[in-house]
Amino acid sequence: MEYAPGESGVIKAFYNTGAHTGSFAKRIRIKSNSVKDKDFNLVLRGNVFAELELRNTTLFFYDLIPGQTKTFSVPVINQMNKPLEIKKWYFSYPMNADNYFKLNVKVVKGSGNKEFLKFSLTPKKSVYQFRNSSLTVKVQTNSKQVPVIAFYMRLRIKRVVTITPTVLFMYTKINGKTAPATVEISTELDSGIEVKSVKCENCPLKFKIVNISKKDKQILVKPDYTKGKKGKVFSGKIKLVVEANGEKEYTIPVRGKIY
């Protein structure tokens, strides 16, 4: 671009906003053969109109319980002059999250005709690798300017039942006899836990359920000398029927010896 002495002209500059919304400032450096000002800067300032604005893209799903649904709503400022529509949604990280969670996203309206994105998340049964973790969800909209919105989900899933130990060995002796053992059962559910029954077929053992608290139980496992033969190694499976968010049977393999 050249100008003769005394001539004037216009420098045209363009800024491609892409997916950016809100205010911006861009600096343009001009080089010339001017004796006084060889280099000078131009600053482009402006504001990009946003069709959709969200106050929050982090969703908190704490105290989730397998099989139960929790919701989280995000307010949306819709400036499209048309209703907001959700085309689809999907987990972008991790890719296999669909195997462990059921997700639903929809647009709902509140007071004053305000729009919200309502997320409904239901963890399935085998979700404990996600107990304290996060998910990323992408939502496709009918906005040309903001076609995809990414949301970050923070998770904490309550343990329905924790049993310790998962395998029981009874080879320890006290005063020449097989030492008793203890099985700990607990839950994080506010409704508590109940041990409905405990048994072990063909095992020379007897059991006593001890209620420590609403959420914590103990099972005292003692050798039954009326059924067990001294010096014989035994093995079997202790079967527990536990009530916590539904009734379920758990199995603990057991091996030991009657002294």
For the chain, the domain total comes to 2
Looking at the domain assignment, is residue 34 inside a domain? no
Tell me the two tokens of residue 64.
């989730």
Looking at the domain assignment, is residue 31 inside a domain? no
Tokens 């131009």 found at: 42
pLDDT of amino acid 137:
97
Same domain, 144 and 117: yes
Instruction: Supply the DSSP symbol for 36.
Output: S
Looking at the domain assignment, is residue 109 inside a domain? yes
Looking at the domain assignment, is residue 82 inside a domain? yes
Looking at the domain assignment, is residue 27 inside a domain? no
Same domain, 84 and 126: yes
Domain end call among 126, 157, 188:
157
Looking at the domain assignment, is residue 144 inside a domain? yes
Q: Where are the beta strands (DSSP E) in the chain?
A: 22-31, 39-48, 52-54, 58-64, 70-78, 86-93, 101-109, 115-123, 132-141, 148-157, 162-164, 168-170, 173-174, 177-178, 181-186, 194-199, 205-211, 216-223, 233-243, 247-257
Looking at the domain assignment, is residue 40 inside a domain? no
Same domain, 62 and 152: yes
| pLDDT tens per residue across span 226-256 | 988 889 999 999 999 999 988 999 999 999 9
pLDDT of amino acid 132:
85
| pLDDT tens per residue across span 63-104 | 999 889 999 999 999 988 899 999 999 999 998 899 999 999
Same domain, 167 and 223: yes
Same domain, 126 and 167: no
114, HSE (Cβ side, Cα atoms, 13 Å): 12
Domain end call among 157, 190, 222:
157
pLDDT of amino acid 124:
86
Domain extent for 84: 52-157
pLDDT of amino acid 166:
95
| pLDDT tens per residue across span 104-127 | 999 999 887 889 999 999 998 767
Does 178 have pLDDT greater than 90?
Answer: yes
148, HSE (Cβ side, Cα atoms, 13 Å): 8
Looking at the domain assignment, is residue 46 inside a domain? no
Tell me the two tokens of residue 10.
């216009």
Does 19 have pLDDT greater than 60?
Answer: no
Domain end call among 102, 137, 157:
157
Same domain, 188 and 151: no
